[in-house]
Amino acid sequence: MSALSSISTPAVHGRRSAAKTNPRATARNMSTAVETPAAVETPAAVETAIAAPVATGTFRRIAGKAARGIGIGMLILGALVFLFLAIGPRILGYQTSTMLTGSMAPLINPGDVVVTIPTPVTDIKVGDIITYHIPVEDQRVETHRITEITTTADGGVAVQTKGDANNGIDPWIATLQNKTVDKQIATIPYVGNAIRTLREPIVMNTLMYGAPAILVIGMLASIWTKDANKNTPEGVAVPQAASGE
């Protein structure tokens, strides 16, 4: 019995002494055990359930913005065309016509819009480009450059014209019957082709009905995706990072 006591007692005493002689190591181990937070693990099924509605909401927001942008752009384009063709000539007094041939190329090409203003016939001069009705055939409207100006027997003004791309002068002399003639002041490239396209029935119907419909769809899409909280399914808790305190 005394032998066992002599063996076990020093061992216990030795362990207690080690604990007493290394208090800093013991405290450091305890601090590490307390300060290290347990890792929060998010199940893969929960992450998938959260990510899917968020991706759908993002797609809807982008689609809604794109639809609104297209609708607004179509409305603005239609309004500008209307103002340029219908309101502008009445308020500002200019006229527009579309060049159909290449007789004035390269200055004015087919599909370009020629903008003219009424000018007194007494103010025109050689070199001006005018838009007028030719005195022969179907009396179509022509836009050509003046090469010669003469005075008629009754005191009127007659002009000889030529297309810049034509080899010779026009085979007629036009007498300007009115006190004014439309003189070219500007050329807008390619707009004539766009105007002719816009005047097509299918395009007109698309602008009249399609643009408002797209705009309404965009507004509805923005309403559906307005509340971001609806992207998170009910009953699913979003994990938060540990504060460390």
Q: What pLDDT is recorded for position 236?
A: 47
- Measured in whole angstroms, the distance separating CA 179 from the mean position of its chain's CA atoms is 46
Q: What pLDDT is recorded for position 1?
A: 44
Whether the pLDDT of residue 117 is over 80: the answer is yes
Q: What pLDDT is recorded for position 17?
A: 45
Whether the pLDDT of residue 52 is over 60: the answer is no
Q: What pLDDT is recorded for position 20?
A: 47
More reliable by pLDDT, 228 or 69: 69
More reliable by pLDDT, 240 or 183: 183
More reliable by pLDDT, 76 or 19: 76
| Percent of the chain with pLDDT strictly greater than 70 | 63
Would you place residue 79 in the very low, low, confident or very high pLDDT band (cuts 50, 70, 90)? confident
Whether the pLDDT of residue 93 is over 50: the answer is yes
**DSSP character string of the chain:** -HHHHHHHHHHHHHHHHHHHH-HHHHHHHHHHHHHSPPPPPPPHHHHHHHHHHHHHHHHHHHHHHHHHHHHHHHHHHHHHHHIIIIIHHHHH--EEEE--SSTTTTTS-TTPEEEEEEEEGGG--TT-EEEEE-SSTT--EEEEEEEEEEE-TTS-EEEEEE-TTSSS--SS-EEE-SSEEEEEEEEETTHHHHHHHHTSHHHHHIIIIIHHHHHHHHHHHHHHTS-GGGGSPTT-PPP------
More reliable by pLDDT, 30 or 212: 212
The predicted model scores a pTM of 0.56
Whether the pLDDT of residue 192 is over 60: the answer is yes
Q: What pLDDT is recorded for position 212?
A: 72
Would you place residue 57 in the very low, low, confident or very high pLDDT band (cuts 50, 70, 90)? low
Whether the pLDDT of residue 80 is over 50: the answer is yes
pLDDT in tens, 146-184: 999 999 988 899 999 999 999 999 999 999 989 999 999
Q: What pLDDT is recorded for position 11?
A: 44
Q: What pLDDT is recorded for position 34?
A: 45
Average pLDDT over residues 19-24: 48
How far is it, in rounded angstroms, from Cα 243 to Cα 204?
Answer: 62
Q: What pLDDT is recorded for position 172?
A: 95
To the nearest whole number, what is the mean pLDDT of the chain? 75
